[in-house]
Amino acid sequence: MTPAQRVAELRRELDRHTRLYYIENAPEISDRDFDMMMHELEELEKAHPELDDPLSPTHRVGSDLAAKGFLQAEHINPMLSLANTYSVGEVDDFVGRCRDGLMGEDFEIVGELKYDGTSISLIYEHGRLVRAVTRGDGTRGDIVTDNVLTIRSIPAVVEGPGIPDSFEIRGEILLPWAAFDRLNAEREANGDSLFANPRNAAAGTLKTLNSAEVARRGLDAVFYYLIGDNLPSDNHYDNLMAARSWGFKVAPHMQLLRSIEEVDTFINRWDTERRTLPVATDGLVFKINSLRQQLNLGYTAKSPRWAIAYKFPAERALTKLRFVSFEVGRMGVITPVANLDPVLLSGTIVKRASLHNADIVATLDIHHGDMLYVEKGGEIIPKITGVDTDARVPEAAPVEFVTHCPACGTPLIRVEGEASWVCPNKYGCPPQIVGRIEHFVGRHMMDIDGIGEEVAQKLYDLGYVCDIADLYSLTEEKLLNVEGFKERSAQRVLDGLKASLQVPFERSLYALSIPFVGETGSKKLARAVGSIDRLMAMSEEELTVVPDIGPRTARAIREFFAEPVNISIVNRLKEAGVRMEVDSSAQATTDRLQGKTFVISGVFAKHSREQYKDMIEANGGRNSGSISKKTDYVLAGDNMGPSKLEKASRLGIPVIDEDTFLAMIQDED
């Protein structure tokens, strides 16, 4: 057998086993045998580069070389939205309209699950995937072929009877619940913001510029529509069955329905059974089966008349309130939390839900032991939406908001004009102190690795860290006395403390937890005042001259530095070497970006987002958090949100990468 013949054989076998494993859930060989075949193919391709093929199984792990962005392509057939409803009655009306539009002709309806992911269009020519395009604005989308090729359940090459020379297949890119939970656990451990739901995670992953990261995250896909000339059948259902035989992962729960009663039964069935699925769903789709009848019914300006989406109501559960706890934040705000009997909701177990403030507790009229309605609607954070008063025990007393701090016993005060109750014992209330320690070491503040919520609490309990300045008095000996610490973890903290001495003043300022002074305000203050000494000496009137510093923030700054304990902490931080003034060498200096507004989104390889913001402002530009007609450029990194990309495209705003931006601010020869 020649090398070319063996390469072709290995590719066919690897593609077949990939299909058996990822699509049919019926593997025939072990993972080890699969890996050995893959290794043999890799070696053959290295020895014979002339046999390389971009669709080879060896290329489907992705590349760690960041792309320059995404090119766009127009859809051959527009990707229209479906009309949708939350009413079973309106679905029945849709069936009636189809009957009228078809002049009483018999018809079948295909019922399908509506998977909650991000839409994709794949173009195949002569059995090979040539282009993958996101929905975009429905007329044109981003070409994401390299990323799609990393998804094992999507065939790069298809074989079988009746395959047209050219066809388009549409589906949904998904992140299964298990992969979603794993990804969010990783992000939480790294201090990154969590994805709100699998849909957002799938969309963000698909737009990641690093295809190796896409491959790692475990995306899946389900297909629901086949388009093209010379299709195998004249109806939707049989065409998808043909696509399944070619190797596509077609929705497994499709069903032919022939009456309104069958449609209603399908809805009732999946309103319950969808909760057991390994992927997120948010509704059902009903389509006329016959392609001829679809053409006869036609389209409105926005959607086909031959299909409708039925959206499930936000998932809701009824569970018992065990008790309400009152938790103290780093700024002293008291938050009531409903502790619940565990309940499965949108794929996760819910045990707690914030009640936010005293007004919401009163509005809901929650009593001890009540049965509470909890909703997630696909989001991460559950919320209490109501009370089943019929299930209330007659003698149950209403939940009353605490009058004293649950941690230190100090009488609470009400924030003027707000719903919040606050513990005023800022410097003696343990949760507030520990909260400030947690904030200080955070990634956007001092970025001290190895100290999280649990470690901060242990350090406080041991008396080693009673305020943020005490962190710089930690030694290896002290750290080794902390439960769970070994030499390596202790050194990790000490290295993090040393590295934090290089953090610029604006982040040191943000790390102090001055009320109403957030990340952006800290940056503006740092640049306006230059040093902590100058800031501490400024009056309220002088502070309000700084851009975006209003009277409330100015007053909070003055009150913060009127406290001797805060002056002491700042002085001890200075003695430890924490930067408390602007590095004049980092200020700058050019007007290359004068008058230009940038929006930064994504994760970058060469510099952090904060550093890019600094560069923009140092060169006369302006940063903005949202895209508008006034935006001049979007600086896009890895994992940029798809909604921002879509909006930039719609407004015609250039999307540039790191290299392009850095070239814009380089000194000219």
Residue positions annotated with a catalytic role = 114
Long-range contacts of 447-454 (CB under 8 A, 24+ apart): 447/496, 447/499, 447/500, 447/503, 447/507, 448/493, 448/496, 448/497, 448/499, 448/500, 449/492, 449/493, 449/495, 449/496, 450/489, 450/492, 450/493, 450/496, 451/493, 451/496
Asked whether the CA dihedral 340, 346, 349, 350 is positive or negative, the reply is negative
For the chain, the distance separating the N- and C-terminal CA atoms, rounded to the nearest angstrom, is 58
Closest CA to 171 of 209, 134, 222: 222
315: Cα separation from own chain's centroid: 20
Residue 604: which residues within 8 A CB-CB, separation 6 or more? 612, 637, 638, 658
Q: Are strands 307-311 and 84-85 parallel, antiparallel or unpaired?
A: parallel
Gap between the Cα atoms of 89 and 106, Å rounded:
21
Q: What single string gives the DSSP state of each residue in 154-215?
A: S-SB--STT--SEEEEEEEEE--HHHHHHHHHHHHHTTPPPPSSHHHHHHHHHT-S-HHHHH
Yes or no: say if 525 and 509 are a contact pair by the CB < 8 Å rule.
Answer: yes
Closest CA to 632 of 597, 600, 660, 661: 597
Q: How many other CB atoms are there within 10 angstroms of residue 497's CB atom? A: 22
Residue 196: which residues within 8 A CB-CB, separation 6 or more? 378, 379, 380
Gap between the Cα atoms of 406 and 638, Å rounded:
43
Yes or no: say if 308 and 82 are a contact pair by the CB < 8 Å rule.
Answer: yes
Residue 32: which residues within 8 A CB-CB, separation 6 or more? none
Q: What single string gives the DSSP state of each residue in 54-108?
A: TTSGGGTT--SSPPS---EEE-SS--PPPPEES-HHHHHHHHHHHHHHTTT----
- 352, burial (CB in 10 Å: exposed 0-12, middle 13-18, buried 19+): middle
Question: Angle 301-305-311 (CA atoms, 0-180°, nearest 5)?
Answer: 100
Gap between the Cα atoms of 190 and 210, Å rounded:
18
Instruction: Supply 275's token pair.
Output: 């909760």
Closest CA to 192 of 515, 447, 517: 447
Instruction: Supply 546's token pair.
Output: 């700084």
Instruction: Supply 80's token pair.
Output: 């229209």
Q: How many other CB atoms are there within 10 angstroms of residue 634's CB atom? A: 24
Gap between the Cα atoms of 257 and 587, Å rounded:
69
Gap between the Cα atoms of 350 and 373, Å rounded:
12
Instruction: Supply 425's token pair.
Output: 């014992």
